[in-house]
Amino acid sequence: MDRLTSGTGTSELSDARSAGQEAAAAAAKTLDGAAPVLVLVYASVRYDLTELLVGVRSVTGETPLAGMTSCGYFAGESVAGPGEGVAVLVLAGGEYRFGVASAGGMKADPEAVGAALARGARAAAKPADDGEPAHAAMLLFTDGLGGDQQAVLTGVHRVYGAAVPVVGGAAGDDRKLIRTSVFCNDEVLTDAAVGVWIGSPRPLSVASAHGWTPASLPVLITRSEGSVIHEIGGRPAGEVFVELVAAVSDEMLRPDAVMWQTSYALGLIEPDGSHLVRAVFLTPDGPINTFTPWPPYSAIQLMSADPGTLLAVVDDVVAEALVYGDESTLLAFDCVGRMEIFGDDFPDEIRRIIKASHGARCFGSYTYGEFARARGVGGVHNATLTMLAL
């Protein structure tokens, strides 16, 4: 098949329009004049985002555009933490068909949002003269603070079924937890999701792993409300969490502030014994806050990780994504919780990805959640590394 070409560019200019223009121009320059077919944008919330997209589209024109606000990005060799700039990926050539669509109202009816953008994205991918591609996948970007992420994914699944894998991320806001946004062409949207339909002549593989390990016996959530856990085993959830951490660590949880928990998370126990990891932030003795709603009476375990266990999964995830060995572009979604564990050494993970990618251009965002659904309805993750190669 014809090889897809790609270019990446970044900017840390303070002016939003200039930053978008600089990043897009750097990305487009590497295409050697080839006509772009899709643009992806990840940006800090410090910008006037509408002006930022004006700058990007002054270079890329009417090419379909999708993306989101983030907690940092990696684009080729460039790696940035929260609040540091904008990254642009431009794709050209290849035999893929792309369609971009958005839908609003996540808080009111997230499942309907997923179904609507799934239909819209597929309709926007105009078929080639030789008809519909034999295979497909979908990129999904959601308002990271907009409500039930799993319900959005369920809506997508109801339209596409199990044959179409889904990969993507929940938008971040530089760890402020105030407002996140997604991008669709020249629009900046909140309480919304954006989908990119990818028609492909061959099957596409979503790869995902986390590297977290159980650190406690299973316990039962006995009262939750959406993404907030109020009680575990009939007791205050925050109190139980502190006890679980204290049993395996000398780490002291500060009682005076809401905080991210980095080395510890919760794992939702799956029927096959694996875990869906959920990053948490809490005030001790209060509820546990997460980014994804919990099924009633979920069985969970305290999970732990360190830089070594997180790095150990990178090679396998990259290898699983690079199914054919001739892919040119590796799209990655990496949880900001993983960045927190690495600390100042967080670029080590990206260097490991680049080394394992065998020359494929890497483009990724740090997120508030990752989508990786290869079969079944589920597929919302935290603290996970997820990839798709084109």
Check residue 256 and give its pLDDT: 43
Asked if the model's pLDDT at residue 265 lies above 80, the reply is yes
Q: Looking up tokens 């369609």, which residue turns up?
A: 99
Distance CA 269, CA 212 (A): 13
**Element holding 353 (H helix, E strand):** helix 347-356
Distance CA 89, CA 24 (A): 8
Distance CA 318, CA 160 (A): 25
Distance CA 118, CA 106 (A): 14
% of the chain surpassing 90 pLDDT: 70
Domain ranges for the chain, please list them: 4-209+310-389, 213-304
- Which positions ≥6 away from 359 have C-beta within 8 Å? none
CB 280 within 8 A of CB 237: no
Q: 3-class DSSP state for residue 377?
A: coil
Distance CA 57, CA 54 (A): 5
Is residue 273 exposed (0-12), middle (13-18) or buried (19+ Cβ within 10 Å)? exposed
Average pLDDT, whole number, for the chain?
A: 90
The model's pTM? 0.91
Q: Looking up tokens 């909140």, which residue turns up?
A: 190
Structure tokens at 297: 């009476």
Distance CA 152, CA 148 (A): 7
pLDDT tens readout for residues 81-121: 999 999 999 999 888 999 999 999 999 999 999 999 999 99
Confidence of residue 55 (pLDDT cuts 50, 70, 90): very high
Helix axes 347-356, 314-321, angle to 10 degrees: 40
Q: Is 366 left (phi over 0), alpha (psi -120 to 50) or beta?
A: beta
Asked if the model's pLDDT at residue 71 lies above 90, the reply is yes
Asked if the model's pLDDT at residue 191 lies above 60, the reply is yes
Distance CA 371, CA 165 (A): 10
Give ∠ CA 45-193-79 in degrees, rounded to 5: 40
Structure tokens at 259: 């905080």
pLDDT tens readout for residues 239-260: 898 889 888 876 555 544 444 4
Once rounded to an integer, what is the mean pLDDT over residues 65-79?
95
Distance CA 175, CA 303 (A): 21
Once rounded to an integer, what is the mean pLDDT over residues 14-34?
93
Confidence of residue 11 (pLDDT cuts 50, 70, 90): very high
DSSP β-bridge partners for residue 207: 387
Q: Which of 190, 231, 227 is nearest to 105 (CA)?
A: 190
**Which DSSP string do the residues of 61-118 spell out, in sequence order?**
TTS-EEEEE-S-EEETTEEE-TTS-EEEEEEEESS-EEEEEEEE-TTT-HHHHHHHHH
Distance CA 234, CA 223 (A): 8
pLDDT tens readout for residues 340-358: 888 889 999 999 999 999 8
Cα Rg, the chain, nearest whole Å: 20
**Which DSSP string do the residues of 234-282 spell out, in sequence order?**
TEEHHHHHHHHHHHH--PPPPTTS-EE--SEEEEEEPTTS-EEEE--EE
Is residue 270 exposed (0-12), middle (13-18) or buried (19+ Cβ within 10 Å)? exposed
Distance CA 113, CA 121 (A): 12
Check residue 255 and give its pLDDT: 45
Kindly report which listed range (19-28, 66-75, 242-251, 332-341) carries the lowest average pLDDT score. 242-251
